Amino acid sequence: MAYSDIDARYIAEFADETKTQLTARSLAHEHGVAVIPPATGAHYATLAAATGAQNIAEVGTGFGVSGLWLLRGAPGAVLTSIDDGYDRQEQAKPLFTEAGFAVNQIRLITGRAGDVLPRLNEYSYDVVVIDGDPTHVSTYVEHALRLVRVGGVVMVPHVLWKGEVADPTKRGAVPTAFRKMLELVRDTSNVVSSMSPLGDGLLTITKVATDHPA
């Protein structure tokens, strides 16, 4: 059952953002970069805190909106954030400093996620967020499930994609890619997952066992 508009507003207003987070959000809007809503960010922060995250990986730095939320939940963690936009990362960098995070906590990697993710160490991350090119979301999630430790969490926003993923008549590249990814996750035996309508849909996956063969 969908929640009402008044519920949606109440949920949105419950998640407050700091001055630095609002600056990052304003930069994203100014440059036409889509960002998660505060309610989704609060979910990120809550799960980062719940996992006691020390190492976080993110696809899609943008202007730092997601990363600031993740570190708000795990202020002692190291964030590895991948984006192919050098200029965006350069504008995000001082915002992490302004928010009080040490330089050595923020590892910004400029490059394509498909090239960078294979180079990261498996089982080394507590939380992985995938918010990159949606047409490659299955590949990114496969890498994320390799990277995250048992008990760790992978989060994927936008999985309802403007209502198109749930509509079988929508055959575009993006909704089709999300459906393929969701089928992949459903068929993965060593995870549990759930989907919520937060923002444009949020998939949360928890790894419950190793994927090493017995």
Taking only the tens place, the pLDDT of each residue in 85-129 is 999 999 999 999 999 999 999 999 999 999 999 999 999 999 999
Does the pTM of the predicted model rise above 0.85?
yes
Residue 153, both tokens: 């969490």
Question: What CA–CA distance (Å, rounded) separates 205 from 93?
Answer: 28
Average pLDDT, stretch 2-22? Answer: 86
The pLDDT of residue 3: 64
Is 90 exceeded by the pLDDT of residue 11?
Answer: no
Neighbours of 107 (CB within 10 A): 14
Which phi and psi (to 5°) does residue 2 adopt?
-75, 145
Residue 23, both tokens: 């600056």
Locate the DSSP E strands across the chain: 55-59, 78-83, 106-110, 125-130, 148-157, 191-196, 202-207
The pLDDT of residue 30: 97
The pLDDT of residue 7: 86
Taking only the tens place, the pLDDT of each residue in 34-75 is 999 999 999 999 999 999 999 999 999 999 999 999 999 999
94 versus 210: the higher-pLDDT residue is: 94
**212 confidence band (pLDDT: 50, 70, 90):** low
**1 confidence band (pLDDT: 50, 70, 90):** very low
pLDDT averaged over the chain?
Answer: 95
| Angle (nearest 5°) at CA 109 between 154 and 19 | 75
* DSSP 8-state secondary structure symbol assigned to residue 121: P
